[in-house]
Amino acid sequence: MAVTHLECKECKAQYPLEALYVCDRCFGPLEVAYDHSRWKPDVAELRRRIQGGPQNIWRYADFLPLAGGPPGPSGRLASRVGLPAGCTPLIRADRLAAELGLREVWVKNDAANPTHSFKDRVVSVAVTRARELGFETIACASTGNLANSVAAHGAALGMESYVFIPADLEEQKILATGVYGTRLVGVEGSYDDVNRLCTELSAERGWAFVNINLRPYYAEGSKTIAFEIAEQLGWEVPDRCVVPVASGSLFTKIARGFAEWGEVGLLDGRLPKMNGAQADGCSPVASAFAAGHDVCRPVKPHTIAKSLAIGNPADGPYALDLARRTGGSVDSVSDEEIRAGISLLARTTGIFTETAGGVTTAVLAKLAERGDIDPDERVVLVITGEGLKTLDAVRGTFETHTIQPTVEAFEAGVPGAVTV
């Protein structure tokens, strides 16, 4: 088993693998540390081991923070983790690439998870670790997709769950959460208010708040997107990844995944250029990037991309450093551009994404237009959520031709319907 301890990202102080998330000494965030040295000699064996694993994120269990070690066959695993996530499609998107003047664009479609967003990866890992640590109740502070995933995992595992959301969330996300029988709490306030409340509650209750006291384990789940992309590209690192940024956890952990596989020799050790994507209405990281700052100034969000509406991003400084270090950037786009991004992806790939995916697609378009992307680069666009959850974003963007049920009405009422 490779996982060894928790470590402060700032002062490197070490902690045991418990429900801890902040350093006592410097208040820095804690992260899971591993010792992969025993794998180094035999890359071929490690690849076989991964390829022989289950068709979900647990094929990467050697790189995940579970005390139980690598899992057995997928049947036994299902009862252990409830809702297996991952192994989502990586699709080559030639028509999208052509429209943007690029040569090679791939779409990682993480809407194809059990509750239709990448959050199933992080929740699977956090909840599995929570069970190992003996917790009986799971909880979260959510911008929407985390709510869906925590409620569903609670239902799958028969654990009690509490889900805290801003009360003004999209109705589709509220309905797709409550249906699982969770205790759903709508807080009058922004996500940052919800998060503050949950941080207080996590100190008082013996609950596993997946993105607060279990955050070091939760964050590890995002590495599995990088592992899958590399495996799906034939054990290669793409040249560039375009990734949405809310707290910055997904963005930084994708790079961490490529780096870890570089360290054990599964990949060549390069990092892709990392491009972060935010909405203009909540762009603390993009603004700091543009201004050349190392830290983010908190903002009050106002955007249709509610799943990215974190005004005070925990991993902001690390996201800035990563974007600069890899020759990437963090950019933001307007609500209009977000809607256009959703349409662009839908009509060129057949993938309908939520507003966060509109942000990511629009930032890719912006980078292409600006000439930041070499036409020969292999680019991966990380699509993190499903369009059916944010239907308001596409309302009024197209026309329905309503007609009487006759051929004449069809030919009179629908453009292009008359054949010559």
Ligand X SMILES: *Cc1c(COP(=O)(O)O)cnc(C)c1O
The two tokens of residue 350 are 């057949």
Please identify, using beta-carbon distances, which residue of 3 and 383 lies nearer to ligand X. 383
Q: Among ligand X, Zn ion, none, what does residue 262 contact (CB within 5–8 Å per kind)?
A: none
Q: Among Zn ion, ligand X, none, what does residue 10 contact (CB within 5–8 Å per kind)?
A: Zn ion
The two tokens of residue 58 are 């647990």
Q: How far apart are CA 276 and CA 73, in angstroms?
A: 36
How far apart are CB 395 and ligand X at their closest, in Å? Answer: 19
Please identify, using beta-carbon distances, which residue of 36 and 177 lies nearer to ligand X. 177
Residues near ligand X (CB under 6 A): 117, 119, 145, 244-251, 307-308, 354, 356, 384-385
Q: How far apart are CA 77 and CA 71, in angstroms?
A: 6
Q: Among ligand X, Zn ion, none, what does residue 26 contact (CB within 5–8 Å per kind)?
A: Zn ion
Residue 26 in the binding site for Zn ion (CB under 5 A)? yes
For residues 161 and 182, the answer to whether their CB atoms sit within 8 Å is yes
- Residues contacting 396, CB < 8 A, separation 6+: none
Residue 23 in the binding site for Zn ion (CB under 5 A)? yes
Residue labelled with tokens 């990586």 = 90
Judged by CB under 5 A, which of 15, 22, 28, 394 binds Zn ion?
28
For residues 258 and 126, the answer to whether their CB atoms sit within 8 Å is no
Q: Among ligand X, Zn ion, none, what does residue 412 contact (CB within 5–8 Å per kind)?
A: none
Q: How far is CA 137 from the centre of its chain?
A: 23
How far apart are CB 356 and ligand X at their closest, in Å? Answer: 4
Please identify, using beta-carbon distances, which residue of 219 and 345 lies nearer to Zn ion. 219
How far apart are CB 279 and ligand X at their closest, in Å? Answer: 11
R_g (Cα) of the chain, nearest Å:
21
Please identify, using beta-carbon distances, which residue of 228 and 354 lies nearer to ligand X. 354
Q: Among ligand X, Zn ion, none, what does residue 245 contact (CB within 5–8 Å per kind)?
A: ligand X
Ramachandran region, residue 101 (left: φ > 0; alpha: ψ -120 to 50; beta: rest)? left
DSSP secondary structure of 100-154: HT-SEEEEEETTSSTTSBTHHHHHHHHHHHHHHTT--EEEEE-SSHHHHHHHHHH
Q: How many residues bind Zn ion (CB under 5 A)?
A: 8
Please identify, using beta-carbon distances, which residue of 93 and 314 lies nearer to Zn ion. 314
Q: Among ligand X, Zn ion, none, what does residue 8 contact (CB within 5–8 Å per kind)?
A: Zn ion
Q: Among ligand X, Zn ion, none, what does residue 356 contact (CB within 5–8 Å per kind)?
A: ligand X
Judged by CB under 5 A, which of 1, 4, 5, 10 binds Zn ion?
10
How far apart are CB 73 and ligand X at their closest, in Å? Answer: 31
How far apart are CB 4 and ligand X at their closest, in Å? Answer: 24
Tell me whether strands 160-166 and 14-15 are parallel, antiparallel or unpaired. unpaired
Q: Among ligand X, Zn ion, none, what does residue 349 contact (CB within 5–8 Å per kind)?
A: none
Exposed e or buried b for every residue in 136-171, given b needs 16+ CB within 10 A?
A: ebbbbbbbbbbbbbbbbbbbbbebebbbbbbeebbe
How far apart are CB 274 and ligand X at their closest, in Å? Answer: 12
How far apart are CB 355 and ligand X at their closest, in Å? Answer: 8
**Dihedral (CA of 124, 125, 128, 130) sign:** negative
How far apart are CB 24 and Zn ion at their closest, in Å? Answer: 8
Please identify, using beta-carbon distances, which residue of 10 and 372 lies nearer to Zn ion. 10
* Residue type at position 397: T
Q: Which contiguous run of DSSP H or E holds residue 173?
A: helix 171-178
By CB under 5 A, name the binding residues for Zn ion. Answer: 8, 10-11, 13, 23, 25-26, 28
